[in-house]
Structure 1
Amino acid sequence: MIRHEGIHHVSLIVTDLERARSFYKEVLGLREIPRPPFDFPGEWLAVGETGQQLHLIVHEGETLRAGGIDTRDGHFAIRVDDFNETVEWLREQGIEHKANPDSITGFAQIFLLDPDHNVIELNAARR
């Protein structure tokens, strides 16, 4: 049997590292962490304080998404502390998103795209 400890990291393909770095650090508030000296550009970011990570990998090819936010597309989710505060922050930053405070999941959800059209879910406990 495999005994899970949790998700260590999620890797995403990006085409412009500076643009992606700015989005994930300045908009989503993730923190840069040390990355080994791979022979390709990328960035490692901490998600919260429990050791979970997001790895950005530069890829010259196209991403799969060209359209808008599709909540059923592949994505990763980050739990946030406050739904309303997060929605307001995204509005202030001019980030297009779909907010569903009454999701049938039992928690509030916000979906958005990063600059390379990777789908991100931000979710929060209902209050």
Structure 2
Amino acid sequence: MHLLSGIHHVAVICSDYARSRYFYHQILGLPILDEHYRAERDSYKLDLALPDGAQLELFSFPDAPPRPSWPEAQGLRHLAFRVQNLERVLAHLQQHQVACQKIRVDEYTGRRFCFFADPDGLPLELYEDSGASAK
């Protein structure tokens, strides 16, 4: 019996809420589920939908410390998005001036992947999945 049934959400604290909201909603195309401003915390919270039912939460907090290094800091190493056509997504990102690393091949699965970063430098990965189970 599995105790966990999947990922519900991943939370990201951003330094510039408007810039990150644009990046994840407009450039990556994630639909907005809900958005709130919490005055008592001077903080925004944005819930974005992923196609598999999981969610990405964006938070803004005043004076949040920056990530210490990339991508080998303790904690979340990177967030990987499953894609069907890696070249198509990379071309879209490059049209929006998002720098992407070279395509690499996973030595264990033979699948192709590529890293890029969100506006705060959070490491993001595109992992090509032609329909079989993903990494």
Q: Which residue of 1 aligns with 2:56?
A: 54
TM-score normalised by the chain length of structure 1: 0.82
Q: Distance in 2 between matches of 1:65 and 1:90?
A: 25
Q: Distance in 1 between matches of 2:91 and 2:48?
A: 23
1:63 to 66, 74, 83: 66
Q: Which residue of 2 aligns with 1:7?
A: 7
Distance 1:99 1:124, change over 3 A: same
Q: C-alpha displacement at 1:9, in angstroms?
A: 0.4
Q: Aligned ranges for residues 21-100 of structure 1 at < 5 Å?
A: 21-35=21-35, 38=38, 39=40, 40-48=43-51, 50-59=52-61, 60-65=63-68, 70=71, 72=72, 74-100=77-103
Which protein, 1 or 2, shows the higher relative CO under an 8 Å CA cutoff with sep ≥ 6?
Answer: 1
Q: C-alpha displacement at 1:62, in angstroms?
A: 2.6
SS of corresponding position for 1:18: helix
Q: C-alpha displacement at 1:26, in angstroms?
A: 1.5
- Whether the 8 Å CA contact 1:17–1:42 is kept in 2: the answer is no
Q: C-alpha displacement at 1:42, in angstroms?
A: 1.7
Q: C-alpha displacement at 1:27, in angstroms?
A: 1.4
TM-score normalised by the chain length of structure 2: 0.78
CA RMSD of aligned residues (A): 2.4
**AA at the equivalent of 1:123:** Y
2:108 aligned with 1:110: no
Greater Cα shift, 77-86 or 94-103: 94-103
SS of corresponding position for 1:98: coil
In structure 1, list runs of 5 or more residues that go unmatched: none
Q: Structure 1 runs of 4+ off > 3 angstroms?
A: 35-39
Q: Deviations over 1:86-118 (max 9, x none)?
A: 111122111111132433242211211111111
Q: Distance in 2 between matches of 1:16 and 1:93?
A: 18
- Whether the 8 Å CA contact 1:111–1:121 is kept in 2: the answer is yes
Q: Which residue of 1 aligns with 2:126?
A: 122
Q: Distance in 2 between matches of 1:14 and 1:116?
A: 6
